[in-house]
Amino acid sequence: MKTYTLYLREELAHGWQDKAIFTWLQTMPGEIFRDKEGRRTLRFEVNQKSYFLKYHQGVGWAEIVKNLLSLRLPIISARNEWQAVQFLQSHDLDTMTLAGYGEKGWNPAKRHSFVITDDLTDTMSLEYLGQQWRDRPPSFTSKYQLIQKLAHIAGTMHKNGMNHRDFYLCHFLLDKSFAETNIYQPTMPIYLIDLHRAQIRQKLPRRWQIKDLGSLYFSAYAVPLTQRDLFRFIKTYTQLPLREALTQKADLWQQVKQRADTLYAE
């Protein structure tokens, strides 16, 4: 059975109407960030507008088997990414904007697929919060509101059945003006990116919830957080009174801490 999916936003569809899209994207020139293991990631421009392309060329059966033997789910298509973008958007969470996606072929080892998103320009990664906040502590309000926002993103995502699998601060982007002002307001978007490993189910299994939260907590170890900061995250994430969140889900938070400590020790 042959599978074929193709979507291009109007400006790309018009500019590439004379091209065999999969063949064109497979070798299209641009600023390359990755080109190995069947995946090609690059930035390119069309009419002075910047985009990101992730092209999957099929990883082969050897790579699929190697991942399965290592108890890892192989990434065989860009479909994960575009469906995760659509999922986040449907739940009013900020993420990348789709400009195109496609997939062809029934054989998982040879399947070709791609996703194109608008380039998120003038943004910074939250990975730099540790150094920034050690040098310049934020106001209580900015810190509180940023923690609330991250907890809302994580809670909404998990409650509705999606896990990220690379849920670190480096995969959250916000306007780079934050690096200068150190002021965060609730109206400022925080974009969740790098969704190629995301999974979506009716209900999120506990182990994937722990892995996501443990990864996020580990990546925040360098950020000067207090116990009250952690409690604020927990309260917003669970949407429960703090006492209930800590007592009813005590084992969850203990396992999250263990996961974070394990990552730190590696």
Alpha-carbon separation of residue 69 from 56, 73, 108, 136, 198 (angstroms): 21, 10, 17, 46, 20
Token couple for 25: 């994207």
Which phi and psi angles does 208 have, rounded to 5°?
A: -75, -30
- The count of other CB atoms within 10 Å of the CB of residue 13 is 14
For 120, the token pair is 């998120």
Concerning whether 166 is annotated as a catalytic residue, the answer is: yes
Which one of the listed residues 166, 175, 194, 251 is annotated catalytic? 166
Positive or negative, the Cα torsion across 245, 185, 221, 227? negative
Q: Residues for the chain: how many in total?
A: 266
Half-sphere exposure in the Cβ direction for 136 (13 Å, CA): 10
Task: Decide if 54 contacts 60 (C-beta within 8 A).
Answer: no
Question: Could you tell me where the beta strands, DSSP code E, fall in 119-205?
Answer: 123-125, 162-163, 172-175, 191-192, 199-200
Q: Are 34 and 56 in contact (CB under 8 A)?
A: no
Beta carbons of 102 and 22 less than 8 angstroms apart: yes
The helix or strand, by DSSP H or E, that contains position 213, with its residue range, turns out to be helix 206-219
Q: Which residues are annotated as catalytic?
A: 166
